[in-house]
């Protein structure tokens, strides 16, 4: 593996240098051009190149200027379109629908270089300029909108992205196999309208083919009118995300159908290795140097992707729909070679920032059954408790980490992409747990209990509170055994479906007892095609069709979020209102169990002695000590914590949010 000297063409001059008169594919992307395997466009373009196809890149074209899409001319086979590594709407807006201030995938972090609903807009632009040229769309934005779906930003149901974008095919999932099969079909002279047979694709059809066993979904028109119908439709989709057991799905739409072929089969280890050995430059295009570079690469530049897929299947996560539940992993040799390449980078300081994937400690399928016949349709591997057929084994991951630690020039190997603590607890061999604590934590370990109320955790698809408490105790004991002074940082989520004000107060009480207040909080974000989003928009849990209470009112969501940060003086009014609505005014007072104090202390001669005893002392300067005293204590380990990280940012209100036409 060695660093190449050239990027793929971004201009006619680049094409001329390669002796090209025409590209086979022109790839239009919503991100800046970064030729690194953590960026989807880099993988797809290099995979196509490795199969002999000529690919040009148009990154962040000006969607208001039609000529911006013509700079490389008409491609021989078709346009490829991807909105970006993130959904463009998530990239642009916080959960409160406020415009974010920066875009990490744009030069210098500048906001506004791509449109809202970027995949739709780029396709419309292409279709106007090149009405007969095939358009193939992929990436997270297209993948999760492949069938009728709820759009949080417009607060309504949208049909398949194929309807409003004008694209010909959706390539859902990771796409390496699908894109080559599509490219070969087009290269053979087949019309894009006849490409109806490739796994991992979605297409429009006037009629269904004979001899195919379709699962017929409720029509696009029906799910727009009936919330229950959408929940039932999603349940069928969710049960057909496995490549071994999944059926073709057909959704009536207008006078025809939107047809989803079964998912592509997972990549083998050899196929994964082949993807990551391709000649990536592993940096942003040099045209961005003067603009400040691309901030997003900093988090991944010295990180290793060891696996794909996740059998954790959290309700609020889209991975089941995008990467699937079957784990795919790279070989030790492939990862070690990439790590050696990193160590030759002049900016490498000796630290590998991460070795993981969606879940770092998943390195193989949950059980042997998944390898042969796929994941279970109606059962999860870890929820509500670990399946008895699940093979819990960290030995391969541990062996990999030991090899990486032993490399010359490597000082430390961190794990930052997150671990499943319930899977770790299920392992009777504590070797990995011990070495995780001893070698792979940078002072703090981030974990995601998400909540502590069992009714909410049940809707999240997360283990109950007792499992997390057991992990906390074990983590503390292991730190004490190794003489470490490290702490846990829990990710917590407010306003998830199933959370009434009662459960929100319960979470606040839990944090009170820990003596811990997160500096930042993630409010549930209803992104397309997750179980939780379906609960949010329909009021039904699609797995069981049970009715679910869901906080959707912005003010109620603000109260639930404020309860997690009840110590913040700015949240006082919201916390007081929340406690009133929950009937928990017993938590307003001066006792040790109270969350907030009354703004105006009542005059009660009988209560004065006890109130005086609980008042904080006045310093000699006449000032009362602050309520938190600077650093906050973390009672998981006795160490003070500075922050919990953020998965959400709030910015200024958007000026406009135009959805698909």
- DSSP labels, 260-318: EPPPPPPPPHHHHHHHHTS----SB-GGGGGGT--GGGGGTTTEEE-EE--SS--TT--
Where is the domain boundary, 442, 471, 501?
Answer: 442
Residues 6+ apart with CB under 8 A from 377: 239, 240, 242, 245
Distance from C-alpha of 560 to C-alpha of 140, rounded to nearest angstrom: 29
Q: Are residues 376 and 490 in the same domain?
A: no
Q: Are residues 600 and 622 in the same domain?
A: yes
Instruction: Tell me which DSSP letter residue 211 carries.
Output: T
Residue 588 within any structural domain of the chain: yes
Extract the tokens encoding 271. 């196929």
Residue 266 within any structural domain of the chain: no
332 touches 399 (CB < 8 A): yes
Residue 44 within any structural domain of the chain: yes
Cα-flanking dihedrals φ and ψ of residue 333, to 5°?
Answer: -60, -40
Residue 258 within any structural domain of the chain: no
Residue 393 within any structural domain of the chain: yes
pLDDT at 621: 33
Distance from C-alpha of 308 to C-alpha of 271, rounded to nearest angstrom: 12
Distance from C-alpha of 139 to C-alpha of 417, rounded to nearest angstrom: 20
Q: Are residues 493 and 553 in the same domain?
A: yes
CA distances from 312 to 380, 493, 619 (A): 8, 17, 51
pLDDT at 299: 87
pLDDT at 605: 43
- CATH number assigned to the domain comprising residue 422: 3.30.750.210
Looking only at the bridges linking them, the beta strands covering 201-205 and 169-171 are antiparallel
Residue 256 within any structural domain of the chain: no
Q: Are residues 562 and 647 in the same domain?
A: yes
CA dihedral 325, 522, 143, 89 (to 10 degrees): -170
Angle between helices 501-514 and 572-582 (to 10 degrees): 120
Residue 263 within any structural domain of the chain: no
Q: Are residues 81 and 198 in the same domain?
A: yes
- CATH number assigned to the domain comprising residue 472: 3.30.750.200
Helix (H) or strand (E) holding 21: none
pLDDT at 601: 56
Q: Which residues of the chain have pLDDT under 50?
A: 1-4, 603, 605-659, 661
Q: Are residues 433 and 309 in the same domain?
A: yes
174-195 CB burial, b ≥16 within 10 A, e <16: bbbbbbbbbbebbeeeeebeeb
- CATH number assigned to the domain comprising residue 103: 3.40.50.2300
645 touches 636 (CB < 8 A): no
Extract the tokens encoding 282. 């592993």
Q: Are residues 647 and 609 in the same domain?
A: yes
Residues in a beta bridge with 27: 57, 80
pLDDT at 5: 58
Distance from C-alpha of 113 to C-alpha of 91, rounded to nearest angstrom: 11
Looking only at the bridges linking them, the beta strands covering 303-305 and 354-356 are parallel
pLDDT at 616: 36
Sign of CA dihedral 331, 336, 341, 343: positive
What's the per-residue H, E or C state across 335-372?
Answer: HHHHHHHHHCCCCCCCEECEEECCCCCCCCCCCHHHHH
Count up the domains in the chain and report the number.
Answer: 3
Q: Are residues 427 and 450 in the same domain?
A: no
Q: Look-up: residue for tokens 């003086």?
A: 569
Q: Are residues 387 and 489 in the same domain?
A: no
Count of other CB atoms within 10 angstroms of residue 216: 12
Cα-flanking dihedrals φ and ψ of residue 538, to 5°?
Answer: -110, -25
Domain span including residue 50: 12-208
Q: Are residues 416 and 508 in the same domain?
A: no
Distance from C-alpha of 242 to C-alpha of 263, rounded to nearest angstrom: 7
Where is the domain boundary, 442, 465, 485?
Answer: 442
Q: Are residues 460 and 401 in the same domain?
A: no
Residue 404 within any structural domain of the chain: yes
Where is the domain boundary, 392, 426, 442?
Answer: 442
Q: Are residues 55 and 154 in the same domain?
A: yes
């Amino acid at each position: 593996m060695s660093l190449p000297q050239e990027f793929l063409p971004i201009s006619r001059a680049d094409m001329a240098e390669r002796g090209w008169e025409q590209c086979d594919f022109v790839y239009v992307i919503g991100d800046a051009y970064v030729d690194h395997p953590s960026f989807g466009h880099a993988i797809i373009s290099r995979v196509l190149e490795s199969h002999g196809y000529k690919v040009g890149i148009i990154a962040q074209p000006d969607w208001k200027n039609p000529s911006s899409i013509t700079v490389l001319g008409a491609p021989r086979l078709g346009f490829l379109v991807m909105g970006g590594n993130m959904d463009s709407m998530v990239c642009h807006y916080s959960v409160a629908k406020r415009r974010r201030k920066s875009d990490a995938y744009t030069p210098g972090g500048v906001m506004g270089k791509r449109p809202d609903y970027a995949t739709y807009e780029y396709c419309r632009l292409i279709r106007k300029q090149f009405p007969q040229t095939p358009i193939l769309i992929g990436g997270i934005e297209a993948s999760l909108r492949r069938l009728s779906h709820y759009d949080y930003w417009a607060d309504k149901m949208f049909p398949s992205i194929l309807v409003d974008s004008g694209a010909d095919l959706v390539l859902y999932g990771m796409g390496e196999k699908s894109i080559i099969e599509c490219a070969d079909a087009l290269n053979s002279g087949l019309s894009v309208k006849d490409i109806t047979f490739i796994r991992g694709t979605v297409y429009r059809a006037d009629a269904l083919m004979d001899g195919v066993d379709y699962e017929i979904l409720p029509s696009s028109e029906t799910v727009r009118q009936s919330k229950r119908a959408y929940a039932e439709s999603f349940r069928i989709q969710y049960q057909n995300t496995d490549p071994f057991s999944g059926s073709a799905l057909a959704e009536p739409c207008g006078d025809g159908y939107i047809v989803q072929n079964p998912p592509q089969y997972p990549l083998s280890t050899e196929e994964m290795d082949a993807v990551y050995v391709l000649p990536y430059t592993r940096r942003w295009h040099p045209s961005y140097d003067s603009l400040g570079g691309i901030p997003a690469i900093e988090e991944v530049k010295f990180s290793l992707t060891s696996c794909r897929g996740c059998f954790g299947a959290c309700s609020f996560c889209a991975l089941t729909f995008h990467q699937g539940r079957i784990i795919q992993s790279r070989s030790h040799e492939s990862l070690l070679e990439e790590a050696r390449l990193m160590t030759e980078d002049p900016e490498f300081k000796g630290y590998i920032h991460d070795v993981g994937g969606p879940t770092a400690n998943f390195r193989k399928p949950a059980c042997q059954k998944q390898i042969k016949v796929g994941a279970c349709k109606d059962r999860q591997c870890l929820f509500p408790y670990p399946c008895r057929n699940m093979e819990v084994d960290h030995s391969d991951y541990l062996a990999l980490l030991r090899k990486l630690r032993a490399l010359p020039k490597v000082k430390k190997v961190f794990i930052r992409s997150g671990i499943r603590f319930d899977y770790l607890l299920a392992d009777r061999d504590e070797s990995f747990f011990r070495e995780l604590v001893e070698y792979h934590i940078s002072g703090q370990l981030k974990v995601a209990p998400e909540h502590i109320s069992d009714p909410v955790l049940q809707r999240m698809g997360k283990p109950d509170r007792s499992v997390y408490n057991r992990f906390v105790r074990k983590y503390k004991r292991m730190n004490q055994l190794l003489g470490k002074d490290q702490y846990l940082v829990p990710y917590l989520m407010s306003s998830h479906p199933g959370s009434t004000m009662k459960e929100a107060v319960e979470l606040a009480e839990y944090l009170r007892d820990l003596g811990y207040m997160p500096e930042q909080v993630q409010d549930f974000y209803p992104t397309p095609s997750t179980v939780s989003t379906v609960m949010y928009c329909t009021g039904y849990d699609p797995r069981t069709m049970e009715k679910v209470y869901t906080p959707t009112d912005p003010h109620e969501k603000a109260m639930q979020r404020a309860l997690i940060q009840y110590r913040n003086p700015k949240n006082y009014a919201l916390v007081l209102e929340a406690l009133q609505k929950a009937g928990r005014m017993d938590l307003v007072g001066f006792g040790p169990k109270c969350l907030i104090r009354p703004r105006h202390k009542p005059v009660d001669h009988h209560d004065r002695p006890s109130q005086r005893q609980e008042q904080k002392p006045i310093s000699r300067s006449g000032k009362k000590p602050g309520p938190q005293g600077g650093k906050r204590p973390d009672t998981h380990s006795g160490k003070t914590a500075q922050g919990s990280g953020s998965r959400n940012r709030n910015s200024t209100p958007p000026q406009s949010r135009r959805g698909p036409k």
